[in-house]
Every structure is written in structure tokens, then in C-alpha cells.
Amino acid sequence: MREILILTPTPREFAAVSRHLTGGFKKFRARIVSSGPGAINAAFRTAEAVLGRAGGGADFIIGAGTCGSLSRELAGGEMIASNEAVIADWLMEDDSGRYYGPYDRFEYRPLSNDTAEELSIRCSDPLVAALMDRLELAGFRRGRLMTSNVFVAGLENKLAKGRSFKALGCDMESGVFAYAARNLLGGRPWFNLRVVADTLDETLADYFTKEADMTEILGAKTKEALDIFDELLSEP
């Protein structure tokens, strides 16, 4: 039976997802781990949770948590399903304009639509691609997530980040889960599930006032997504 590793950054996200994922699935076992918030925790905990397990563990890696909106189209409580991520912290900026440093080499070029595409980490696994299609039909919002190790604040700044990276939402771990799955763990299939906890005009303080409600939505929608995945894996 397949094993799915679900990484939840905060204790509250872990608790909400754990509450909803009781009862099991037909085609896989779900194992939930709290990675801790931020990029460093996400990288270490993802590798540790897979490499430190007998038999290798984790046929699929899923990040599940909250995010902020980078789009006028997203409302609080909406769920993003994503097999694309970009890590904004690995970019360089100076007085001559914004430049980026590719993840695996030191070469700097202007950030444009083409280079934004180059920066994106994608999971092209056929089962994940099929799942993204089904989740979109089920009302999940499908799109790229941007990862930053700092809270992205300010309406105009959020809109600018969304345009630059063609991203719907921002968080502190999704891109690192993706990078670890691809580069540290031999190309394990992965995807991310994120509930929009703060909209364009909201602040970090607003996030904390809604955190309990948003993580409850996260738990319920993660269960819905995995039920759909279970159905997909059960098909001949």
C-alpha cells in the first residue's frame, strides 16, 4: 500500500488535519508530520521524515497549511491546490533592478515572464496532474504558490509579487517541500494544499484572529482532496 506523507507547518495546522484524517483510505496510508514553520524547518523535516524511515517511506509528499492571497480573485477560506512553486527568497535585488540567482548555479539575469517560468518548481507526475484536474473541478483553486521566509505584507506589494511570479498565494514552506521532494528525495511526487487565511488587504494580526477557523477549513478540505485522490487511485 502506498504511503502519503503530509507536512503541516504549525501545531494548529497539524491538529486540524489530524482530526479530519481519521478512518483511513483504501489505497494509501496517510502519515502526518509537523514540520515547524519556515524554510529551514521545512527542508530538514521533509528529508528527515522520509530518509529516516525504514524502507524509504512516502510515495507522495503533500504540504498542507495556510497561505496569504496574492490575487484579487481569492477570498478568505478558499483552497489552493498546487503542483507549482517558486522560492522568492533565492532572488537577488539591487539598484539596477530585480535579478535572480537560479537555484543550482550563480548566473544573474533580469526577472521577466520567461525567467519567472524557469524559476518554478513543478511536479509533472501523471497521477498528481490528474488529481489537480479533479480538484479544480471540485472547486479548489489551481495555481502556483510563492514561498518567502518572511510574511509578505501590503496590498501593492502582494499584487506585485503575484504578478512577478504568476502566483496565487504565498507561504513560508511550499516551495521548500517541493524542492526537497525533487532535489533531496530523488524526485518524489508532491503537491501542496493551502487555505487562504489572509487576503490582500489583511495583515499578520488579521491572520492570527482567523487562524483557528482557517485551519479547520484546511483540515476538512485536505480530507476532501485525499478522498478524491483515493478514488483516482482506485480506478483501473
Q: Tens digits of per-residue pLDDT, 18-50?
A: 999 987 899 999 999 999 898 888 888 888 887
Handedness of CA 209, 21, 189, 54 (dihedral sign): positive
CA distances from 149 to 45, 83, 124, 152, 156 (A): 16, 20, 25, 9, 19
At 218, the pLDDT band (50, 70, 90 cuts) reads very high
In the chain, where the domains are located: 2-234
Task: Give the Cα separation of 30 and 57 in Å (integer).
Answer: 11
> What pLDDT score does 208 carry?
84
pLDDT at position 121 over 60: yes
pLDDT tens digits, residue range 107-119? 555 566 666 677 7
Confidence at residue 163, expressed as pLDDT on a 0 to 100 scale = 87
Q: Taking 60 as the threshold, does the pLDDT of residue 101 lie above it?
A: no
> Residue 207 has what pLDDT?
84
Q: Is the CATH number of domain 2-234 3.40.50.1580?
A: yes
User: Which of residues 213 and 94 earns the better pLDDT score?
Assistant: 213
For the cut 80, the answer to whether the pLDDT of residue 3 exceeds it is yes
235: left (phi over 0), alpha (psi -120 to 50) or beta: beta
Instruction: Please answer whether residues 143 and 84 qualify as being in contact, where contact means their C-beta atoms are separated by less than 8 angstroms.
Output: yes
Sort strands 84-87 and 144-147 into parallel, antiparallel or unpaired: parallel
pLDDT at 41: 85
User: Phi then psi for 172, rounded to 5 degrees?
Assistant: -110, 0
How many CB atoms lie under 10 A from the CB of residue 189?
A: 21
The per-residue pLDDT for range 140-149, each reduced to its tens digit, is: 999 999 998 8
